Amino acid sequence: MRPEPGRAGLPLDVRRSAGSSGRDAALVEAVLDALASPTVLLDPAGRVVLANSAWTDAGKERGAPILPGADYHALALQLRDDADARRLVRELRELSRGERTEVSVDRSVPDPAGSATSWFHVQASRVDQAGHVVVTHLDITARVRAERASAWRARHDSLTELPNRAHLHELIDAELQHDRCPAVAVLFLDVDGFKDVNDSLGHEVGDELLRQLAGRLLDSTRAQDTVGRLGGDEFVVLCRDCDAGGAEMLAHRCQATFEQPFDLGGRTHRLSASIGIAAVPAGDRAGVRSTDLVRDADLAMYAAKAAGRNRVRVFSPDLRYRVQRKVQLAAELRGAISDDQLLLHYQPVIDLTTGLVTGAEALVRWRHSERGVLPPCDFVPVAEQHDLIIPLTRWVLGETCRQAASWRDAGAPVVAGVNVSAVHLATGTLVDDVVTALQGAGLDARQLVVELTETSAAEDPARAAQQFRRLRELGVESSIDDFGRGFSSLSQLVAIPAGVLKIDKSLVAGADDPGSQSAAVVAAVVGLAEACGMRSLAEGVETAAQLQRVAGLGCRYAQGFHIARPMPGDEFLRWFRSRPEQGPPAG
């Protein structure tokens, strides 16, 4: 501390505490001066009595060194008159009067250039009875900035820099608690088929697509809306002061901006999105929370997706009721699988070249205690959505293999077909489950065929191909079911080593008329299947004319109500035995 005019000496009490000699007073000055943090000694009125070198240097940097005699309180407020500064001044006065033992305040001050802010931890203690106070100022700017950056990161998505799930919920809740109670709407947006982009073009391209998509959402929403990302390909838009109708318009505007192709490193890509909306009208809160609103918008999005891609759907309470029913059904189904409430009916398959019965497709039913016998369309999708399809299919595989072994022993060695779901392929246990069922029943692998629908196979042809190849190595054949319903291209499916292509009943029904388009399509499909090494099977043959037509068009097998309806296993055996051995159907 350099001697300066006006520093008339240390206050009495300070001098006394440091000793009575001038040498000791100099020692106190030297101690203060050795402190790295800017430090000042204030008199009871808050005027600067002493200031150390760090304080003087800091003052010079600001271009306004604070000299002894200056009013510290006034200067503190002059730097930035905010709540922290006012608290600091109040507490320093209290400290000086002995009404508190210390002061500890974090405060921000503008940087000399004015463009940024510095942060200081200000700590003060009283040093004598008269009320002199020592104030130290520790620069904590780096720590505060690091904390702020980490808090920002915790509330934002690193890929798009949009608010993340947690922050979105905070913002929506804040809006719902707004005193004015304005209308609030939430848009829940999910990209259609995003997984295909990631799988086919790679995650980096997928990330780039999400960034561009975030940009387009920001461009198409209003200034008062907030766009956030929940994760994956799911985005949420918080629409302030906006009812369901307004949100629908906004949703269509967002969809329209996706119609322009995305440029992904020179490659263009088109995409669409399904959007669900949930809204609360102005004034009507009734304890609605952000989690309710986002969940309802999510349900509406699922309904939009289920109705086909690129749609917008506004939430209505019946959607929740439907979901609750499904959840209840799933719980019941879980018990039904273990309680033997499932049963199988078998539909015969005949070889059109010999007229012989060569196969039987196992079709599951559920004997529900209150609702009677339910068809698979009432519960297989529920099983797929609630992690029940694997236990269900394992049960069907085991039961079918046992039934086929028993028919074989009774002189009816037919090939039994079991329908499998795409979910099963995705979990990767299909091959093991098939092996377990065959071994459990002592059935030859050639007596089992696994059916996968065209749309399921097209979801991930590479995965289907890999698992069907392993099944084929074991001797189990596979077939592609319902071909012609899902509009997949055959070229997408030729790489899948399936033995049989099952032509969907919609095409078979239309093939009645020899000159019809359906007849031409069936003929083309039969030819293409043959070229790919597959045999074709006509499904849903309901009339003699259809049977004759599909035989004439070159189908190898047929199945349908005209031949036989699905029936229980013992009935199937009686039906099999009752059939006269016959040649190809007469014209």
Residues that bind ligand C2E (CB under 6 A): 347, 363-364, 375-377, 380, 393, 396, 419-421, 451, 481-482, 505, 539-542, 560-561, 566
Element (H, E) at 574: helix 569-578
Question: Nearest CA to 526 among 518, 535, 517?
Answer: 535
| Residues ≥6 apart with Cβ < 8 Å to 93 | 46, 73
Of 470, 478, 474, 486, the residue nearest 443 (C-alpha): 474
Q: Which stretches of 20-82 are DSSP H helices?
A: 22-34, 53-61, 72-79
178 CB neighbour count, 10 Å cutoff: 12
Q: Closest approach of Cβ 416 to ligand C2E, in Å?
A: 11
440-499 residues near Mg ion, rule: CB under 5 A: 451, 481-482
SS3 102: strand
Pick the stretch among 308-316, 344-352, 509-517, 531-539 that binds Mg ion (CB under 5 A). Answer: 531-539
Closest approach, Cβ 350 to ligand C2E, in A, equals 12
Q: Which residues pair with 342 in a beta bridge?
A: 366
Nearer to Mg ion, 164 or 347 (CB): 347
Binding site partner of 396, from Mg ion, ligand C2E, none, Cβ cut-off 5-8 A by kind: ligand C2E
Nearer Cβ to Mg ion, position 206 or 484? 484
Interaction partner, residue 505 (ligand C2E, Mg ion, none; CB < 5-8 Å by kind): ligand C2E
CA distance 314 to 291: 17
Phi, psi of 416 (to 5 degrees): -95, 135
Nearest approach in angstroms of CB 376 to ligand C2E is 4
Alpha carbon distance 416, 127 (integer Å): 95
Q: Which is nearer to ligand C2E, 201 or 423 (CB)?
A: 423
CB of 447 to ligand C2E, least distance (A): 17
CA 98 vs CA 44, 130, 176, 380: distances in Å: 10, 9, 46, 78
**Least spacing, CB of residue 537 vs ligand C2E, in Å:** 10
Residue 360 contacts residue 346 (beta carbons within 8 Å): yes
Question: Of the two residues 89 and 564, which places its CB atom closer to ligand C2E in the complex?
Answer: 564
Least separation, in Å, of the C-beta of 389 and ligand C2E?
6
122 exposure class (CB count in 10 Å sphere: 0-12, 13-18, 19+): buried
Q: How far is the CB of 299 from ligand C2E (least distance, A)?
A: 25
One-character DSSP codes across 502-523: EEPHHHHHHTTSTTSHHHHHHH
From the list ligand C2E, Mg ion, none, pick the one residue 514 interacts with, judged by a Cβ distance below 5 to 8 Å according to partner type: none
Other C-beta atoms closer than 10 Å to the C-beta of 579 total: 14
- Is the CB of 141 or the CB of 543 nearer to ligand C2E? 543
Residue 248 carries which DSSP code?
H
Q: Considering the complex, what minimum distance in angstroms separates the CB of residue 511 from Mg ion?
A: 16
Residue 42 partner contact from Mg ion, ligand C2E, none using kind-dependent CB cut-offs of 5 to 8 Å: none
Torsions phi, psi of 201, nearest 5? -105, -10
Q: Which does 375 bind (CB under 5 to 8 A by kind): Mg ion, ligand C2E, none?
A: ligand C2E
Least Å from the CB of residue 300 to ligand C2E? 27
Q: Which is nearer to ligand C2E, 273 or 558 (CB)?
A: 558
- Residue 482 CB, shortest distance to Mg ion, in Å, is 4
- Kindly state whether residue 84 participates in binding Mg ion, applying the rule CB under 5 A: no
The residue type at 416: A
Q: How many CB atoms lie within 10 A of CB 229?
A: 24
Can you tell me whether residue 406 is helix, strand or coil?
Answer: helix
Question: Could you tell me the CA-to-CA distances from 10 to 391, 439, 465 in Å, in that order?
Answer: 87, 99, 91
- Closer Cβ to ligand C2E, 122 or 414, answer by number: 414
Which positions ≥6 away from 188 have C-beta within 8 Å?
234, 235, 236, 275, 276, 277, 278, 294, 297, 298, 300, 301
Identify what 363 binds: Mg ion, ligand C2E, none; CB under 5 to 8 Å per kind: ligand C2E
Query: Which of 246, 568 has the CB closer to ligand C2E?
Result: 568
Q: In this complex, which beta carbon is closest to ligand C2E, that of residue 18 or of residue 537? A: 537
**Euclidean distance between CA atoms 490 and 487, whole angstroms:** 9
User: Of Mg ion, ligand C2E, none, which one sits near residue 294, judging by CB under 5 to 8 A according to partner kind?
Assistant: none
Binding mask 503-522 for Mg ion (x = CB under 5 A): --------------------
Alpha-carbon gap, residue 532 to 519, rounded angstroms:
20
Interacting partner of 478 out of ligand C2E, Mg ion, none (Cβ under 5 to 8 A depending on kind): none
Task: By CB under 5 A, name the one of 108, 419, 447, 546 that touches Mg ion.
Answer: 419
Minimum CB separation from ligand C2E for residue 540, in Å? 4
Question: Which residue lies nearer to ligand C2E by CB, 58 or 364?
Answer: 364
The residue (of 208 and 504) whose beta carbon lies closer to Mg ion is 504
User: With respect to ligand C2E, which residue has the nearer C-beta, 118 or 347?
Assistant: 347
Given Mg ion, ligand C2E, none, residue 540, with its beta carbon under 5 to 8 Å by kind, binds ligand C2E
d(CA 296, CA 255): 20
**Within 13 Å and on the Cβ side, how many CA atoms surround 417?**
25
Distance (Å, whole) CA 240 – CA 250: 12
Rounded to the nearest whole angstrom, what is the least distance from the CB of residue 477 to Mg ion in the complex? 14
Interaction site with Mg ion (CB under 5 A): 419, 451, 481-482, 539
